[in-house]
Structure 1
C-alpha cells in the first residue's frame, strides 16, 4: 500500500504564478520546471484544482519531453472561469493532490467573481454524462444577477420577413478576450432622451418568433458580465430553452455570426447567460443603455437585434 503524502497547512504551501499569454494556456499549462520537484507522486495519479469559492475540478498532470503540464481537465477550468489573455494566476500547492488557484486581472486586482455553478469531479476521467451537484454553490456573479432587472417579454406579432441564419454560414466562436473593465466603456453616457427613444424603437420590433427585450445595465456589460432571461419567457418556451443545470446557447447577431454562451439555472430558479456573454458583448460593441431583443429561433438558439442608445461611438 502506498503511503499518501501529508497535506501541508496553508502557511507551508509552495506557490508559483503563470501569466496567460495568448495561445499558450487554453489546452494545457506548463508548470515551472523548478517547481516540479515539490509535486508528490500521488498528484500524478489524481489531482484537483480548487478555486476561490472552494469548487474543485479534476485535473491530470502529464510529463512530456519538454516539461510537466496541467492537461486533461485544464480546458474545462479555463472555460468555466472565463480565463482570458494576460490574466495572472497564482497556484498554491498543498503538498498532496490539490492546487488552489487565484485569478487576477491585468491591473493586478483579484477577480471578484467566478462563473462555475458546480464542481466537475470525474469529468476529466469519464465520458459519461455529468450530473448536477445538488450541494454546489451558485457563483456570486450569477446569484446577484437574479436580483437585476430581468427584462421585458415582447408579444408575438404577425411575422415580418426573417431569415434564420444557417449554421454552415458562420464560424461559431467562444474565443476568450482580454477582460478589463476600463476598456469596455468607449462612449459618452446616454441621455434620458436617447434612452426613451431607443426603448421606443426596440418595443416596435415585431417577429413571428418568441422574443424578449433587455435594456443593458452595468451588471450586464461592465461588472459581472451576466444577463438574466425573464422567468416568464423561459416558462412559456420550456421545450426550447429550459434547463435544470447548465446548457449551451448559441447567440446570432444580424450579420450571421454566432457565439456560444453558457446558460445556468440558479438556485433561485433563474436562467442566466454567463460564460461567453462577455465575448458576445465585446464583439458587438455593446454598452450600458443599449437594448437587445432576443428572438428564440430554435432550441437553445437566439438571434439578437441590437438597438444602440448612442448612435456615434
Structure 2
C-alpha cells in the first residue's frame, strides 16, 4: 500500500500477505464472509484494479467486491477498517455517493460499525448491483465518494472508459504505411 495520501486499499488486501501465502492470489480474488463465500471472476477484479490505478492518487480509494448481503436482504455495506480510521468522520455522518453519471445518492455512515446503512439500499437497487460486481470508491471530498462499478455480467461506464483507453493506446501504436 502507498502512504496515507493517495492510498489504494483493497478490502482484505492480498498485497499485505507474505509472499508464500500471496502466490496465486492475484489470479483469483476470493472473499470469505461468515455467511457467504464468493469467488470473483479474475477479469472483473483486474478491471477494478485497473480503474483504481487510473484514479487521481491525491485522493484515497478502495475496492469493494459485492457479496449477497451488500445487494439483497439487509443491504449492509461494510468498509475497510484502515480507510474508515484514516479518512472518514468518527461520528455518524451523511456520505454522498456520486455515480458514473454524476448523480448524487445519500447514505448514512456508521463509524462504530464501519459501514453504510440508510441510503445504501437505494443506491444498490438504483444501480442493479449484483453479487460479484466490484465497486471502486474514490474519496473526492470530506464526505463525498465517486463510485465506479465494474460489472460481473455486463459493462458499466467504467468498463467502457477502460475499453476506450485501450483502443486509444492501441491506435497510437499502429503505424500506417
TM-score (norm 2): 0.62
1:151 aligns with 2:29: no
For 1:82-101, what per-residue CA distance to the aligned partner results, in whole angstroms no more than 9, with x for missing partners?
xxxxxxxxxxxxxxxxxxxx
Contact 1:152 1:214 in 2 (8 A): no
Aligned residue for 2:159?
none
Secondary structure, aligned partner of 2:115: strand
The equivalences for 1:108-123 within 5 A come to none
1:292 aligns with 2:139: no
Secondary structure, aligned partner of 1:262: strand
4+ residue runs over 6 A deviation: none
1:306 aligns with 2:149: yes
Aligned residue for 2:28?
none
Contact 1:152 1:213 in 2 (8 A): no
Secondary structure, aligned partner of 1:236: helix
For 1:291-311, what per-residue CA distance to the aligned partner results, in whole angstroms no more than 9, with x for missing partners?
000000001100000000111
1:242 aligns with 2:89: yes
Aligned residue pair count:
120
For 1:251-295, what per-residue CA distance to the aligned partner results, in whole angstroms no more than 9, with x for missing partners?
0001010111001122xxx31101100110111111100000000
Q: After TM superposition, give the deviation of residue 236 of structure 1 in Å.
A: 2.5
For 1:189-246, what per-residue CA distance to the aligned partner results, in whole angstroms no more than 9, with x for missing partners?
xx96x71110011011221220000000011011210101101112232xxx1223x1
2:154 and 2:131 mapped to 1: Cα distance? 13
Structure exhibiting the larger radius of gyration computed from Cα positions = 1
Unaligned runs of 5+ in 2: 1-9, 16-37, 156-177
Secondary structure, aligned partner of 1:281: helix
1:279 and 1:293 mapped to 2: Cα distance? 18
The equivalences for 1:129-278 within 5 A come to 151-152=11-12, 195-205=41-51, 206=53, 207-208=55-56, 209-237=59-87, 241-244=88-91, 246-266=92-112, 270-278=113-121
For 1:51-84, what per-residue CA distance to the aligned partner results, in whole angstroms no more than 9, with x for missing partners?
xxxxxxxxxxxxxxxxxxxxxxxxxxxxxxxxxx
For 1:149-193, what per-residue CA distance to the aligned partner results, in whole angstroms no more than 9, with x for missing partners?
x9256x9xxxxxxxxxxxxxxxxxxxxxxxxxxxxxxxxxxx96x
Contact 2:84 2:111 in 1 (8 A): no
| Structure 1 or 2: more helix by fraction | 2
Pair 1:249–1:271, CA change in 2 (3 A): same
